[in-house]
Amino acid sequence: MPFSRPTVGDDTRQDVTADTAIAARCVDLVKLYGEGPTAVRALDGVSVEFPRGVFTAVMGPSGSGKSTLMHCMAALDAPTSGTVVIGDTDVTTMKDRELTVLRRDRIGFVFQSFNLLPTLSAAENVVLPQRLASRRPDESWLATVIGTLGIGDRMSHRPAELSGGEQQRVAVGRALAGKPEIVFADEPTGNLDSASGAHLLGFMRRSVDEFNQTIVMVTHDPVAAGYADRVVFLADGHVVDHMDAPTAERVLDHMKRLGA
């Protein structure tokens, strides 16, 4: 096992059966790549909801459409048909500029790599979306986030001077700094060693628990999925299953069954 679940404290994960508001959802999402008979259906009628204050993992084998789903949900890519709603905003009809502002103000991102601008310091990277919006960052909130992430003493450094784990924590800091409605993370631990990965997932967990943040994370790692409240399984462009209160073992078993 590369990562292990934190054992300290109670299991504070949300009870997803309770009536929580929906942070983001999609209805009948279809995404085609290419045209005609050779077209690939990356998403084939996906409908899924991501409740507020919940850490959801999206899992599936390579080619299952999990990254495509995230890109469409996060307004990075336009679906061929279907609807994506963030909060109560239908993003499928929005123009590029509105989508950009939506991403800037209401969504946070953590990618697998290339998360930071190499020419800016960690501190500048964290507040980049607010600076792009010409807004003053909320200093006390920023201090809380940076303190929680444990990167306070690294803020004046450039990304090249930070370890991979530190870089990803700065990226998470940036994702949270603007208090977004939802954070999308695409294989955030993909390039990290297990210890750094465990730290990062722990922080993401805490941001959900302590700040009531909504996180959607795409991963193929059952251990990473074990940090989530809920797992959505994708295969061949369809939602095939979901699991509440997952553990790494259960997810792995489930994956094996799906693969079989």
Binding site for another protein (CB under 8 A): 71, 76-77, 96-97, 100-101, 103-105, 109, 111, 114-120, 124, 128-129, 131-134, 174
**Between 9 and 95, CB nearer to another protein:** 95
**Between 36 and 97, CB nearer to another protein:** 97
Tokens 């628990």, residue?
209
φ, ψ of residue 40 in degrees (nearest 5)? -105, 130
Q: What distance in Å separates the CA atoms of residue 202 and residue 3, rounded to the nearest whole number? A: 10
Tell me how far, at minimum, the Cβ of 92 lies from another protein, in Å.
16
**Between 135 and 256, CB nearer to another protein:** 135
How many CB atoms neighbour CB 108 within 10 A? 27
Query: How does DSSP classify residue 163?
Result: -
Tell me how far, at minimum, the Cβ of 63 lies from another protein, in Å.
14
**Between 12 and 33, CB nearer to another protein:** 33
Closest to 71 measured CA to CA, from 46, 38, 37: 46
Tokens 């700040």, residue?
211
Handedness of CA 136, 130, 51, 109 (dihedral sign): negative
Tell me how far, at minimum, the Cβ of 247 lies from another protein, in Å.
31
**Between 100 and 212, CB nearer to another protein:** 100
Tell me how far, at minimum, the Cβ of 4 lies from another protein, in Å.
30
Tell me how far, at minimum, the Cβ of 26 lies from another protein, in Å.
17
Yes or no: say if 124 and 153 are a contact pair by the CB < 8 Å rule: no
